[in-house]
Structure 1
Amino acid sequence: MDDNDDLKDLIRTIPDHPKPGILFRDISTLMLEGDAFASTIDRLADLLDNGKPDLIAGIEARGFVFASALAYKLGCGVLMLRKSGKLPGTIVSIEYALEYGTDMLEMHDDACGPGAKVVLVDDLIATGGTALAAVELLRGRGALIDQALFVIDLPELGGADRLRDLDVTSHALLSFAGE
């Protein structure tokens, strides 16, 4: 991870959100700064290995913003990984565990096929539950996914390590200690 302190300075920390003891890393303050947002997208693109992917898969909701801008920069498509019940038409889904219950990710069943080279993108990786589910969902359709990009990593929560266990290289621009 390179020195991205200029971007880190634009991330607002909100204590005790969504529950006591959590330090919420609010990326919306970075997104409000046009030059910083553009630089974030350029720097994410620079982290990619193995050339241009076919698709950038963004996780709802902030991941859509970064995935769309990155796909535009790279000249590739955007695949939306949505929460349950938001997509029309035929979908494929995966249920995954959260700290207190379960959630579901969905995508159109024809969004990608066997052999599609896909890079996963989201604003932040913490425990990795959603990212791991996304990888499983994409690979279940035959996608080739070996990279994931994040603006922020919370390394103490182990999500990037869990992705590496699935042979997915996780790149992040910024790292914050703690939650």
Structure 2
Amino acid sequence: MTSDPRLARRIEGLLRDVPDFPKPGIVFKDITPLLADADAFAATVSGLAESARAAGGVDLVAGVEARGFLMAGALATELGCGLLPVRKAGKLPPPVKSVRYDLEYGSAEIEVPHDIAPGSRVLLVDDVLATGGTLRAAAQLLTEIGAEVVALAVILELADLHGRDVLADVAPLDALLSV
């Protein structure tokens, strides 16, 4: 599902392209202008919250480091539920569960607290969906610790990279803007 066209246009107008970041050939989608616009940020959070509501509610919002944290905190507040960080390796105290995965421009390792989410219904959120590797790895970790990922939500989907296809068997995916 993709959001209403008015919200999508609003979001698109507030994104900034940064060429050759973090590596040559990559066009980084900067959401900072969106975050700085209070009304647009609130509308974005409300739009993302619809994913959790459509899934029948959630116990936790899991946000992927780092920009996913920003959305997850606001979403958890809006939804009246808890927040679960999905962090880069070495940033959480033990016990943790971790996984290494490939990115479109390298590889990374993420981790989640091992003992927080068993039995929880989780909305997994990030800012941008590219190839789907990060969200897939995060969903794998959440499942391994006993949580149920009931929905995925992103602000922006880079459709040409086919990340949605990689996530088709994980949970329903909502993107507020697809380019």
Match of 1:156 among 126, 140, 160: 160
2:46 to 17, 42, 60: 42
Q: 1:84-99 maps to which residues of 2 (within 5 A)?
A: 84-99=89-104
1:27 & 1:132 partners in 2: Cα distance? Answer: 22
SS at structure 2 position matched to 1:20: coil
TM-score with structure 2 setting the length: 0.91
Shift of 1:18: 2.4
Higher relative contact order (CA 8 A, sep 6+): 2
Match of 1:171 among 155, 171, 174: 174
Give the aligned partner of residue 77 of structure 1: 82
Q: How many angstroms does 1:99 deviate by?
A: 4.3
1:51 aligns with 2:80: no
Structure 2 residue ranges without an equivalent (≥5) = none
The 5 Å alignment of 1:104-115 reads 104-113=109-118, 115=119
Deviation, structure 1 residue 89? 2.6
Moved more, 67-76 or 37-46: 37-46
> Matched residues, percent identical?
46
* 2:66 equivalent to 1:61: yes
TM-score by length of 1: 0.91
Write the distance in 2 (CA, Å) between the matches of 1:62 and 1:167. Answer: 21
For the residues of structure 2 that align with 1:78 and 1:9, how far apart are their CA atoms? 29
Q: Name the CA distance, whole Å, in 1 between partners of 2:80 and 2:25.
A: 41
The CA distance in 1 between the partners of 2:40 and 2:105, in whole Å, is 35
Tell me the distance in 2 between the aligned counterparts of 1:101 and 1:43.
31
Taking only aligned residues, the RMSD between alpha carbons, in angstroms, comes to 1.4
